[in-house]
Structure 1
């Protein structure tokens, strides 16, 4: 029986680590340096998704962007009050 090539990559532990770190950076971005941690979380989420942790990697990338936006809005509200 011939092996059928698959288009999806198997999930690796490196992909899962990148995805988990992206979620952690999404939470940290709310409270501390939202642009920096949001950007790093976005990159790690994309890397996790590309390495095979789909769709969780994409959710982590989106959560990092959302965390950065919330962090920026929170900082603006605190500094402008």
Structure 2
């Protein structure tokens, strides 16, 4: 029986891999607003680690979200910078 306060991790996926995936998605969102190159790169690395540790689809999605977050963050930063000057 599963404790109602916890979310079960699918079979074959380690808890560490799922944690890396969640943190990677969080860093991908943060990359849109703050230091996109740093947080986007961290999200990509954590996503790849999660995917290689068994969280295949979500780990790769997190890595892609990290790259997208970095690109969107850099574009938004350039727009804000050019509007300020």
Report the TM range for the smaller structure's normalisation.
0.7 to 0.9
* RMSD of aligned alpha carbons: 1.1
Task: Report the Cα distance in structure 2 between the residues aligned to 1:45 and 1:54, rounded to whole angstroms.
Answer: 9
1:20: how far off?
0.3
Give yes or no for the alignment of 1:32 onto 2:41: no
Deviation of residue 31 (structure 1)?
0.3
SS in 1 for 2:55: coil
In structure 1, stretches of 5+ residues that fail to align are 1-9
Matched, 1:56 2:58: yes
Normalising by the residue count of structure 2, what TM-score does the alignment of the two structures yield?
0.84
Query: What does residue 75 of structure 2 align with?
Result: 73
Task: Tell me, in whole angstroms, the C-alpha distance in 2 between the residues paired with 1:68 and 1:52.
Answer: 25
Deviation, structure 1 residue 48: 0.3
Gap runs ≥5 in structure 2: 1-11
DSSP 3-state at the match of 2:13? coil
Q: CA deviation at 1:11?
A: 0.6
Q: Which runs of 4+ in 1 moved over 2 A?
A: none
CA separation in 2, counterparts of 1:21 and 1:61? Answer: 11
Q: Would you say how many aligned residue pairs link Structure 1 and Structure 2?
A: 73
